Amino acid sequence: DTGVSQDPRHKITKRGQNVTFRCDPISEHNRLYWYRQTLGQGPEFLTYFQNEAQLEKSRLLSDRFSAERPKGSFSTLEIQRTEQGDSAMYLCASSLALTGELFFGEGSRLTVL
Amino acid sequence: AQTVTQSQPEMSVQEAETVTLSCTYDTSESDYYLFWYKQPPSRQMILVIRQEAYKQQNATENRFSVNFQKAAKSFSLKISDSQLGDAAMYFCAYRRQGAGSYQLTFGKGTKLSVIP
């Protein structure tokens, strides 16, 4: 499968714990995006990478959130000291060009108890 | 800030019939892109159709077509000959051109059911 893959698909954690999600984009795509989708809402932009550089971060990305893309390949999204409000689907997408089509992964669903 | 509004939380259509999903948006930009994405249950979101604002001609992709009314800031999706596989959440999305064009702004979505 050469699509965008995300891991884990589901994560249940207790409030206050740290969690990390991984995204493997389509191999030739140099642009990578993270979005968050809560129940009944459309996805909301979190952050964007071009190669290994994080070029934009949404105000939604509080200081408890950190994203990296070492070597411009896979990316990780870490949430520290999780809160119940962090419960959501975290979507990763990649594209080849700035105006190119975004290809989404199936998402990582986080439940914070 | 740009906003995207989908006023129909749920729609249903009989198989083989035609359905139109509505979307309006608010922007002060003149150049931008509009998209419709499909999100089947527990599956990844996929692009259905895109429209560049500078193009007057409405985009079409097989059974999917749009009615783009730039002055009215309206961007509806028409699905013809609906099939069971069309059942999904449909999201309208906007992206500006130029600086800050990295992000898509999505509407809340319309859940489409297809009745056999």
Query: Which of A37, A61, A109 to probe by mutation at the B interface, max B CB count within 10 Å?
Result: A37
Q: What is the dihedral of CA A82, A88, A94, A100, to 10 degrees?
A: -130
Please tell me the predicted confidence (pLDDT) of residue B100: 59
A–B interface: beta-carbon pairs under 8 A? 52
Which pLDDT score, from 0 to 100, does residue B58 have? Answer: 95
Q: How far apart are CA B65 and CA B36, in angstroms?
A: 10
Q: Would you state the pLDDT for residue A47?
A: 95
Which helix H or strand E contains B67, and what residues bound it? strand B64-69
| A21-53 confidence digits (pLDDT tens) | 999 999 989 999 999 999 989 999 999 999 999
Confidence of residue A59 (pLDDT cuts 50, 70, 90): confident
The residues pairing with A56 across neighbouring beta strands, listed in sequence order, are A48
The one-letter amino acid at B78: K
Alpha-carbon distance B91 to nearest alpha carbon in chain A (angstroms): 7
| Distance, CA of B58 to chain centre | 12
pLDDT in tens, A84-108: 999 999 999 999 876 678 999 999 9
Q: Provide, for chain A, the percentages of residues in helix, strand and coil under a 3-state DSSP scheme, each rounded to the nearest 5.
A: 5, 50, 45
> Does residue A8 have a cis bond before it (omega within 30 degrees)?
yes
Compute the distance between CA of residue A41 and CA of residue B56 in angstroms, rounded to an integer: 30
Determine the pLDDT at residue B7.
96
* Mutation site for A-interface testing, chosen from B23, B45, B47, B90 by largest number of A Cβ within 10 Å: B45
**Per residue, what are the HEC states of A43-60?**
CEEEEEEECCEEEEECCC
Q: How many CB atoms lie within 10 A of CB A22?
A: 14
Output phi, psi for B56, to 5 deg.
Answer: -80, -30
- Compute the nearest-CA separation of B89 from chain A (Å): 10
Q: What is the predicted pLDDT for the residue at A78? A: 97
Collect the ranges in chain B with pLDDT lower than 70.
99-100
Q: With beta carbons under 8 A apart, name residues in chain A contacting B102.
A: 33, 45, 48, 55-56, 98
- Residues of B near A (Cβ–Cβ under 8 Å) read 4, 33, 42-47, 50, 91, 93, 97, 100-109
